[in-house]
Amino acid sequence: MNTNFLTKTSLITAGFTLASLSLGVNPSMAQWNYSMDSSTDGHAIGGIVGANSAFEFYGMAMMEKDGQIYIGMNSNLSLDGANSSYADDGVISYGDLFFNFTGDGLDDAAGNLFAINFANRTNSGVSEAGVYRNVTGKNVAQQNSGFWDLNHHANTVNGLSVNRNGGDGANMADLASDDAYWQSGVTEDYKVVTSIASGERVGGINMLESTTLASLGLDFAGFGGVGSETFGFSFDKSLLPSGDFIAHIFAECVNDGMAMVGNLASADVDPESVPEPASILGLLAVGGLMLKGKRNRTA
């Protein structure tokens, strides 16, 4: 097991919980929790990043309400993926959305992950949309002519003129591209988990269009989410455990990705017991805790 990651998590586990509660992840608050990504790290052939890249991810959001978990995403990549002659099967789509509740790094959590298969024309190891547990992941970047590792992606997009002249540069929303959480995915070829290799399906999901999400209060535009595609899905909260988690999603080519750090409270959490944000921030300051690249917002 990666001891560096364990050392890190021993310092920030409490911070994850407290910060997430202050930022609206607590289900009793019935708010969208936004994790906004860099707007200039979605890459495309020809040194293209940002709005002109089909793989630019802008953000994802999560809300728990009435026993349901709602997920929303804003990007330039459609649910059908992007046609590409560089991919073995002619299309580059989304990977699967992973949830890690273990407190371990991504490599060490293999076999104990949860994941959601939702997109079309993917290279996932499962074919039926839904929520899966006991998941082992795989990397499908090579068959999609993608980046070798997260450093390869970051170094490439950070070296482009748009980022040298004030662009956001590479990050993964709530986590940095080189965060210890990614373990081997930072520097080792085709290791970062993009897709389900195997798992046990425990339930289905309901796909949601942008109009339905808007009626539920989702508003990416207010936080800089200007991607051409807004979509999402919902599922029964009982399909996931409670507690601190890190969730992540990549394009199959690793041309962009996003992570969310949060907490799902158990059903018996008393809303009155949630600490005031000011108190939480004070605790975080005393502990010297900081989440790299953290740009959560609630609305």
Q: What is the pLDDT of residue 45?
A: 92
Q: Does the pLDDT value for residue 161 go beyond 70?
A: yes
Task: Provide the 10 A C-beta neighbour count for residue 188.
Answer: 16
Contact predicate 72/218, CB 8 Å = yes
Q: Which helix (H) or strand (E) holds 48?
A: strand 48-49
Q: Which helix (H) or strand (E) holds 18?
A: helix 3-22
For the segment 111-126, what is each residue's pLDDT rounded down to a tens digit? Answer: 999 999 999 999 999 9
DSSP notation for 213-272 = HHHTT--GGGGT---SEEEEEEEEGGGS--EEEEEEEEBTT-S-EEEEEEEE--TT--GG
Q: Does the pLDDT value for residue 251 go beyond 60?
A: yes
Domain housing 251: 3-298
Contact predicate 82/91, CB 8 Å = yes
Helix, strand or coil, per DSSP, at residue 289:
coil
Q: What's phi and psi for 6, nearest 5 deg?
A: -65, -40
How many distinct structural domains can be found in the chain? Answer: 1
Q: What is the pLDDT of residue 191?
A: 98
Residue 298 confidence class, pLDDT cut points 50, 70, 90: low
**β pairing state of 206-208 and 195-203:** unpaired
Q: What is the pLDDT of residue 268?
A: 62
For the segment 131-154, what is each residue's pLDDT rounded down to a tens digit? Answer: 999 999 999 999 999 999 999 999
Q: What is the pLDDT of residue 166?
A: 92
251: amino acid identity, one letter:
A
Q: Does the pLDDT value for residue 288 go beyond 80?
A: no
Q: How far apart are CA 23 and CA 235, in angstroms?
A: 22
Q: Does the pLDDT value for residue 11 go beyond 80?
A: no
* Phi-psi group of 185: left, alpha or beta (phi > 0 → left; psi -120 to 50 → alpha; rest → beta): alpha
For the segment 198-214, what is each residue's pLDDT rounded down to a tens digit? Answer: 999 999 999 999 999 99
3 state SS for 102-131:
CCCCCCCCCCCEEEEECCCCCCCCCCCCEE
Q: What is the mean pLDDT of residues 162-185?
A: 96
Q: Does the pLDDT value for residue 274 go beyond 70?
A: no
- pTM value? 0.84
Q: What's phi and psi for 91, nearest 5 deg?
A: -150, 140
Q: How far apart are CA 60 and CA 94, in angstroms?
A: 13
Residue with tokens 């939480």: 280
Residue 297 confidence class, pLDDT cut points 50, 70, 90: low
Lowest mean pLDDT among 164-168, 228-232, 277-281: 277-281
